[in-house]
Amino acid sequence: MSDALDTSPAAVRRRLTISDSDRAAYGIPEDWQSGMARLVEWADVDAFAHANHTAFLLWFEAARNLYLESVGIPRHAVDKPGPVMMTLTTRYLKPLAYHDPVFVTARVKSMRRTSFVMEYAAWGKDGCACTCEALLVLMVNSTGEKVAIPEDVRAAIRDLDAPDEQ
């Protein structure tokens, strides 16, 4: 099976690994381990000819979903615990335009028993264009019950990002 179609955590992790050439091209610091390259598409651009603020949030969502798959949290599992976003803070730093290359990064900054904070950034050819931080709580989707982050998921996150733990 092509790695692009393989949804196993190991295959997703390989796709998210940031290459040295991408680090150099976008100025991504070494403390970011996960990310993906893309182009600003026509649908991402607003009437002022730059990437709309909502495009960044969609890019961060895509990076988050792949990151979580790579550490063992499956998507589309209504009967299993999944992340529910509680807060989101975004800071827009530089504009991006149609067809600009962009590299979107994601990492876990901190973990508690049932929640974790993720950080995201969108990097353009002139450096960081946007940063974002989100608080997510692991819940059973069908009941809304908070659940502890499984130890195997915690271990995978620790291996990637060495987040603060409280």
Task: Look at residue 1 in the predicted model and tell me its pLDDT.
Answer: 54
Measured CA to CA, the distance from residue 146 to residue 83 in angstroms comes to 10
Measured CA to CA, the distance from residue 62 to residue 85 in angstroms comes to 14
Provide block-wise average pLDDT over 10 residues at a time, the chain (166 residues).
73 90 96 96 94 97 95 79 95 97 98 98 98 97 91 96 92
Both structure tokens of 151: 């130890």
Calculate ∠ Cα 68-69-74, nearest 5°: 105
Domains delineated in the chain: 9-165 (3.10.129.10)
Task: Look at residue 75 in the predicted model and tell me its pLDDT.
Answer: 76
Measured CA to CA, the distance from residue 123 to residue 142 in angstroms comes to 36
> Crossing angle for the helix pair 9-16 and 53-70, nearest 10 degrees?
130
Residue type, 56: F
Task: Look at residue 2 in the predicted model and tell me its pLDDT.
Answer: 60
Helices (H), 8-52: 9-16, 20-26
Give the burial class of 42: count Cβ atoms within 10 A of its Cβ; 0-12 exposed, 13-18 middle, 19 or more buried: exposed
Task: Look at residue 3 in the predicted model and tell me its pLDDT.
Answer: 63
Task: Look at residue 34 in the predicted model and tell me its pLDDT.
Answer: 96
Q: Estimate to the nearest angstrom the gap between the alpha carbon of 69 and the chain centroid.
A: 10
Task: Look at residue 56 in the predicted model and tell me its pLDDT.
Answer: 98
* C-beta separation of 98 from 47 below 8 A: no
Measured CA to CA, the distance from residue 77 to residue 82 in angstroms comes to 7
